[in-house]
């Protein structure tokens, strides 16, 4: 059972929409869940429907290594692991989890269920007819962020849990919302810092802008989008 859950949202024309939820589980594990429009996928020669993208962060109680795992929940309730990558805990690090060019959130599949909560975190307010939302999610363990002054047009939000902090860097783009695209960072190397326990906020903004550029390039090339999903 989750010890703590936070819903990360965006407001589209004044209507709150769910981007993803973060659940704190036992042993310091964090689970990040993206729900939205279902889509088909072939696994083992059979077609299935994906209903959730799931990312989890685990700490090995003996080695202290951090594992970032990506999995899918299917419509038959099975969970299929796709990638897991362990990182040594020899230095303070920041681990990228995923980056997303959000799809058109006006669909009812993204409606925020239940009453608003003080645990909800809104990271954007925009009109999907005229703009789209891009954001990156990064996990930290024992790492401080150094203020870098005005980050516009990006915004940065941070959530603290028992074993990890989660940073979300977001910005809106002057283009109507469309299908969207998703980039998994579970096997990526940690984001390098200056060698101490502090990372500049602008380092995270630069990471987000780079990932967003790749997502936009993929969005313009449908034939290459098999590895990406909105």
Q: For the residues 198-226, what does the mean pLDDT come to? A: 76
Report how far residue 175's alpha carbon sits from residue 13's, in angstroms, rounded to the nearest whole number. 15
The pLDDT assigned to 195 comes to: 57
β-pairing, 66-74 vs 94-101, is unpaired
CA 30 to chain centre: 12
Number of domains in the chain: 1
The pLDDT assigned to 132 comes to: 94
Over the stretch 62-112, which tens digit does the pLDDT of each residue have?
Answer: 887 888 999 999 988 888 887 777 776 656 578 899 999 999 999 888 988
Report how far residue 175's alpha carbon sits from residue 133's, in angstroms, rounded to the nearest whole number. 9
Range of the domain at 45: 4-227
**Burial track 90-101 (b if 16+ CB lie within 10 A, e otherwise):** eebbbbbbbbbb
Strand partners, 30: 24, 57
Over the stretch 36-67, which tens digit does the pLDDT of each residue have?
Answer: 767 888 888 888 888 899 999 998 888 878 88
């Amino acid at each position: 059972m989750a010890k703590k859950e936070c819903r990360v949202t965006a407001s589209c024309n004044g209507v709150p929409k769910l981007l993803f939820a973060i659940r704190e589980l036992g042993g310091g594990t964090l689970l990040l869940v993206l729900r939205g429009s279902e889509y088909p996928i072939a696994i083992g020669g059979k077609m299935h429907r994906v209903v959730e993208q799931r990312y989890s962060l685990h700490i090995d109680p003996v080695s202290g290594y951090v594992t970032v795992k990506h999995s899918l929940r299917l419509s038959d309730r099975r969970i299929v692991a796709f990638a897991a990558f362990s990182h040594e805990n020899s230095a303070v690090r920041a681990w990228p989890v995923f980056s997303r060019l959000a799809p058109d959130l006006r669909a009812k599949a993204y409606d925020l269920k239940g009453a608003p909560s003080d645990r909800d975190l809104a990271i954007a307010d925009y009109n999907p007819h005229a703009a789209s939302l891009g954001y990156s999610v990064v996990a930290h363990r024992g790492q401080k962020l150094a203020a870098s002054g005005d980050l516009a047009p990006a915004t940065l939000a941070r959530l603290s849990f028992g074993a990890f902090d989660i940073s979300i860097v977001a910005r809106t783009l002057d283009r109507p919302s469309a299908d969207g695209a998703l980039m998994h960072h579970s096997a990526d190397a940690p984001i390098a810092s200056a060698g101490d326990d502090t990372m500049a906020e602008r380092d995270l903004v630069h990471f987000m802008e780079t990932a967003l550029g790749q997502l936009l390039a993929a969005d313009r090339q449908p034939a290459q989008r098999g590895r990406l999903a909105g």
